[in-house]
Copies of this chain bind each other. A is one copy, B any other.
Amino acid sequence: MSTLAGIDQVFSALADATRRDIVRRAIDGTEGVAELAEHYPMSFAAVQKHVAVLERAGVITKERTGRRKVVRTNLDGLLIARRLLDTYEDLWRGRYGRMTDLITDRKETHA
């Protein structure tokens, strides 16, 4: 459940250097919110908000262990963004594919 989010949320979540760094750090899935917060020159609450944004976007998840909540990045969330970019790339190559088709088909030479 959860983990589902819109493309808007995923991209805007990743459009912030602090949040991207949190995503990177959370790949190991070892640090809690407080530990993460120590890495950044801002208040704990600010980092907690960043984590909340990432969680709402489905890019990270939180798992309770003891009194902490360990933050772990969710690859499926990131894949939403990646698939879109892949689609763009495919369309792009398709466009060039079509262009080369035209060229090779009709043996056109000049502009």
Contacts and interface: CB of A to CB of B under 8 A. Distances in A.
Q: How many copies of the shown chain assemble into the complex?
A: 2
A78 to B, nearest CB: 6
Interface stretch (A31-39, A41-49, A63-71, A85-93): A85-93
Contacts of A4: none
Given A78-B85, A84-B20, A91 B15 contact: no
21 contacts: A7-B20, A8-B17, A11-B11, A11-B12, A11-B14, A11-B15, A12-B12, A23-B88, A24-B88, A24-B91, A27-B88, A27-B91, A27-B92, A29-B95, A75-B88, A78-B85, A78-B88, A81-B85, A82-B82, A82-B89, A85-B85
Interface of A: 7-9, 11-12, 14-17, 20, 23-24, 27-29, 73, 75, 78, 81-82, 84-86, 88-89, 91-92, 95
